[in-house]
Amino acid sequence: MKFLDLCKVYVRSGAGGGGCVSFRREKYIEYGGPDGGDGGTGGSVWAEAVEGLNTLIDFRYQQHFFAKNGQPGMGRQRTGKDGDDITLRVPVGTEILDEDQETVIADLTEVGQRVQLARGGNGGFGNLHFKSATNQAPRRANPGQDGVERTLWLRLKLIADVGLLGLPNAGKSTFLAATSNARPKIADYPFTTLHPNLGVVGVDQTEFVVADIPGLIAGASEGRGLGDLFLGHVERCAVLLHLVDGTSETLADDYATILAELEAYGGDLADKPRVTALNKIDVLDAEERAAARQGLEEASGGPVLLMSGVAGDGVTEVLRALRAQIDEDRLRHKPQAEDAPWHP
């Protein structure tokens, strides 16, 4: 399944049905009076966040969504049938933007959350509605209200607890594959990851969701490489894991590059809690590890964890450091048998 996180849709609610002008015609009833019914209400367009989706790919093949019109009113005081609503099923974490791509109409962050995108038109009144003591035979009825037509943008921001950051080939996909059942593409060339991947990882009887996004390079905020297209997917994360390639000869510059891109992206992304880890330590000896760690700590101004996604060294410590930064209400506790301890 292909990944799509931004798309344009065209929606239109149904128009209301027109009212009816009708008079009661029955034998032996001299003054039947008006009996024209009202028109039905047009269908509305809704968006609903549902489970089981993590991409907007369905909206690549269908962009137009039109609700049904209400039926006109009929004689014998019969109201027209209401038009059927139509619902756009979107992944949790979808933002709905106006045509300018800036005004946020709704942010669907929970399963079952619904929002009305276009309200159906009201049905027109039939002539029965206008009957009065001074106008006992009205010959007027209202037309139905027109539907609403809108152009909207859907933008998906994946719901994850931890976001992975780093230069291409920093080992983000390897870390995700080693700690979860996710199977991202792994290779020894830059930009192996072309779209975000999600994985559920566990440590100390708890589980949380990790999002891996394509690697950033200097100038990503200006569109270089894959640019900052996917940074929005880590905006909702509680903590960021910054992986730095331990085999690089420019550790401080690598760290500064990612930090600069976060600041250029804007928002509060650069201010989010971060855990910094020196990856690929399995190919370094003890002296090289100590030197690399010291240099990275001086550049970051904080503690640096050592790990190897391939060998599994230090992975549990990194997961525990991430878990400590996640609010308890976001964690999912994994049930376990009393006589069978669970291990991450």
Binding residues for GTP: 166-173, 191-195, 212-215, 279-282, 308-310
| Bridge partners, 239 (sequence order) | 162
Question: What are the binding residues for Mg(2+)?
Answer: 173, 193
107 DSSP β-pair partners: 95
* DSSP designation for 329: G
291 phi, psi to nearest 5 deg: -65, -45
User: DSSP letters of 13-62?
Assistant: PPPPPPP---B---TT-S---B-PPPPPPPPPEEEEEETT----THHHH-
Q: Please tell me the distance from the alpha carbon of residue 23 to that of residue 170, in angstroms, as a whole number.
A: 79
Output the CA torsion sign for 175, 177, 183, 185.
Answer: positive
CA distances from 264 to 18, 28, 102, 268, 299 (A): 55, 84, 18, 11, 19
Q: Which residues pair with 47 in a beta bridge?
A: 88, 115
Radius of gyration of the chain (CA): 29
Do residues 198 and 211 make contact, with C-beta atoms less than 8 angstroms apart?
Answer: yes
Q: Which amino acid is at 210?
A: V
Question: Which residues belong to the annotated binding site?
Answer: 166-173, 191-195, 212-215, 279-282, 308-310
Collapse the DSSP code of 206 into the 3-class scheme (helix H, G, I; strand E, B; otherwise coil) and give the result. strand
Q: What are phi and psi of 180, to 5 degrees?
A: -145, 180
41-75 burial code (b ≥16 CB/10 A, e <16): bbbbbbbebeeebbbbeebeeeeebbbbbbbbbbb
